[in-house]
Amino acid sequence: MKRSWPIEESLWLEGVRLIGGIDEAGRGSLAGPIVAAAVILPPMPSFPWISQLDDSKELTPKVRKELYSHILKDAVAVAVASLPPEEIDRRGIFRATLAAMAQAAKNLSPQPDILLIDGPWPLPEVEIRQMAIIDGDARCCSVACASIVAKVERDRMMEELHRLAPGYGFDRNKGYGTLAHWEAVRSLGPSPWHRRSFLSRRARELGQIAEDAAALYLAQQGWRILERNYRTRHGEIDLVAWDGRWLAFVEVKARMTNAYGGPEEAFTLAKRRRLREVAEAYLQEKGVCGEPRIDAVLVRLSWGGDVVAVEHLPGAVEGP
């Protein structure tokens, strides 16, 4: 059964000859480049392989590579552009994605009469008529082709990075955040090809998981949580809790290693001073409902976000 592509077919019937489809690969990856591809197909293509087109993620690697070969052979034009992790960190993934797509469009020869872009955002750097199409890789054959080209090109780049840094499994995960990949980052540290901004974001997410786990643990031990993320001009304390006797100012530490270490590893002198200042500010504002002390709760997590263990350290910091 012949598949229809109504968006492109209507454009070809209008007399538009060169339609460029654009898509990217690697936007959500922890490591490696963002890769964009642009493809122009001849009008009303009738190649046998056209009916197999789909979003590249839905295709098997074997079918994807076969289609990639057909696209390179039969397309009017194919162009690829990429940005490395340091550019992604500098620009942010949104702007880096648009920049890679724009460069791929500019690299096309001949230039298209119109661009069909996968997603909701046009390319402000490109002065060509454009249509931004959500799920474009499922609705437009040229965009589906671009999706396949971008995916195959990026997979090859990640396989090369695996040869340079074999400990992260880039040949299998292609830089995406599988549990094994996160554990490799934990044990080996990030490689030069990891996106530091993505790792920082994950660290913040894990910090929130640790804080939730600490609050739940204390509540189960009979503590009443009075405050979360209490802020003053001196800084912030994660939890303020009361058990009927002690008023605990609790600093939560997320740990990704198999050993907690002592509290001295978690608190620098400056950190200890700040915690005491925050606790004193709380006491001045709220008053005293128990004997004040500064505690720590250390939460050990897997990179997948599973809580492995929780340890409560009463009086981890002297004062307030």
Domain layout of the chain by residue ranges:
6-188, 198-317
Predicted confidence at residue 304, as pLDDT, reads: 66
Predicted confidence at residue 306, as pLDDT, reads: 77
Q: Which fold has domain 6-188?
A: Nucleotidyltransferase; domain 5 (3.30.420)
What band does 256 get if pLDDT is binned at 50, 70 and 90? Answer: low
Predicted confidence at residue 262, as pLDDT, reads: 46
Query: What one-letter code names the amino acid at 234?
Result: H
Instruction: Look at residue 213 and tell me whether its pLDDT is greater than 90.
Output: yes
Residue of 51, 43, 44, 49 whose CA lies nearest to 2: 51
pLDDT digits (tens, 9 = 90+) for 122-162: 998 899 999 999 999 999 999 999 999 999 999 999 999 99
What are the backbone angles phi and psi of residue 161, rounded to the nearest 5°? -65, -30
Predicted confidence at residue 308, as pLDDT, reads: 87
Residue of 82, 66, 75, 86 whose CA lies nearest to 40: 75
On the CB side of 88, how many CA atoms lie within 13 Å of its CA?
24
Predicted confidence at residue 259, as pLDDT, reads: 42
When mean pLDDT is compared over 25-39, 170-184, 266-280, 296-310, the highest value belongs to 25-39
Q: Which fold has domain 198-317?
A: Trna Endonuclease; Chain: A, domain 1 (3.40.1350)
Average pLDDT value for residue range 191-215 = 90
Predicted confidence at residue 18, as pLDDT, reads: 97
Instruction: Look at residue 265 and tell me whether its pLDDT is greater than 70.
Output: no
Instruction: Look at residue 302 and tell me whether its pLDDT is greater than 80.
Output: no
Please state which of the ranges 27-36, 38-47, 138-147, 297-306 shows the lowest mean pLDDT: 297-306
DSSP state, 41? P
Average pLDDT value for residue range 89-117 = 96
Q: Bigger pLDDT: 320 or 210?
A: 210
DSSP state, 260? -
What are the backbone angles phi and psi of residue 119, rounded to the nearest 5°? 115, 180
Predicted confidence at residue 257, as pLDDT, reads: 52
